[in-house]
Amino acid sequence: MKPFKIFKIKPEERVQAIVILGVILLLNGLFIWRMHDLFMQEGFGPYWKVFERELHLSGYDPLTYLGVTYWDTVYNVYRHPLLAYMIWPFYLLNQGLTALFGVNLVQYIVAIPVILSSLYSYIFIYRIHREVIQLGHYDATLLSAFYFSFAYIMLSVIVPDHFTISMFLLMITLYISGKCIQKGREFKWWQSALLFFVTAGVTLSNGVKTFLSGFFVNRKDFFRLKYLLMGVILPAALIWGIAVVEYRTSVLPREKARQEAKAEKQKKMEERVALLTPEQRAAYEKRQEAREVRQKLQAEKSGTPMKQHGFWKWTDITTSRTKTIYENLFGETIQFHQEHFLEDTLVFRPVFVKYNWILSYVIEGIILLITLIGIWCGRRSRFLWMALSYFGFDMFIHLILGFGINEIFIMAPHWLFVVPLSIGYAFYSSKGNQHKVLQLSILALTAYLWVYNGWLLVDFLRSPINAVL
């Protein structure tokens, strides 16, 4: 009856909500300050070129900035079917403010949903620990702070991309699912359809996780004909139909136009090359060889796909899974590497970077060990297996198929919550001295990660950029 009541911050959440909001605002303020002079100068543009050249935050894309500045279907419509339409109101707001003030306020506008999504991601992971796993106030707060000390969760609170919104949607899905399991309630078909439409509209993989929630909440009733037809097949067909229509009406015409323009440009280039002197031709061929070398190196970092068409071209069968796991999956996502800090793998960063300190690998091992202990302690929890199924799905598409494996760390907001949630079950099961040791261990890890990751991130945000427009 009161759907927005879930967003009311409860009395016991208020102090930590103020603290985490202060941290989120500080990081966003530093990020906006870093780019402010570049974005605010007169004659700025073209926007797409400057955004892509100057706005580097690891592998995250500035597509939301582009869409809010000049609205279009800037995202891949098959992976993010409704995201462009979700940012359309922010585009209208930006258009009005730009007309009023004469400058592009896209940074400030995009920061609004990013800040709110980050804040409520914290609130909901706290509630999951507190109400679903049923931990005490201190333990729930500690594990929530632990989660936000992770490198790519801390970074996500300033990223102008869809990942923070996805994290928020996954958190609220987990929370609602956990409460349903706890109270013996089921997802109604319309609830599942609506939740899928929103989550999959942002990122298609989120929709799969909504269906996984439906399966773990409803169990055998998930396979009832009415639920399957109305709560699974119909919304899935609808979202896919929207994506196909978007592609055919908006994307395909632009792709054809680009191909024609590229062919025309190539024809003119060939005509100019034919008129070059032998010395000019030699210089031209040398530049082309250097370009081909760069493209080859870039292709090697992207890996070899299973096939060269459709969704298969996003797969990767050659990138090392072993190195990925300890350097990127449970490495960079939790602790930043000091070398090549926040560089883009598709530009300069190598796929694998080693830590400068052996301590970083020790900490990674400790966190993984405690996580495994937590999984064992919660092995009979239907909610934990549901959260792990989210993780399992992501590992299938990233580690098995190789989708995005060369920058798997940017996907952390989609799955990294399984670490504190698993550890929550170790907290719940431990008693006496064991519990105190566990508390002190997580407190020490949290303090270290906040200092280590926070220092590197703030130092980066305080450094000026040297842009040449």
pLDDT in tens, 77-112: 889 999 999 999 999 999 999 889 888 888 999 999
Query: At 43, is the pLDDT very low, low, confident or very high (cuts 50, 70, 90)?
Result: very low
Do 417 and 387 meet the contact criterion of CB atoms below 8 Å apart? yes
Sign of CA dihedral 137, 171, 169, 214: negative
Least confident residue range of 15-24, 86-95, 314-323, 350-359: 314-323
Distance from C-alpha of 425 to C-alpha of 427, rounded to nearest angstrom: 5
Mean pLDDT along residues 177-193? 93
Task: List C-alpha distances in Å: 96 to 107, 160, 291, 343, 409.
Answer: 15, 20, 42, 34, 36
pTM for this model (two decimals)? 0.91
pLDDT in tens, 416-442: 999 999 999 999 999 999 999 999 999
In the chain, how long is the greatest CA-to-CA distance?
A: 84
Distance from C-alpha of 144 to C-alpha of 158, rounded to nearest angstrom: 18
Q: How many helices (H) and strands (E) does the chain have?
A: 20, 0
pLDDT at 469: 36
Q: Could you tell me which residues are beta bridge partners of residue 57?
A: 60
pLDDT at 297: 65
pLDDT at 344: 87
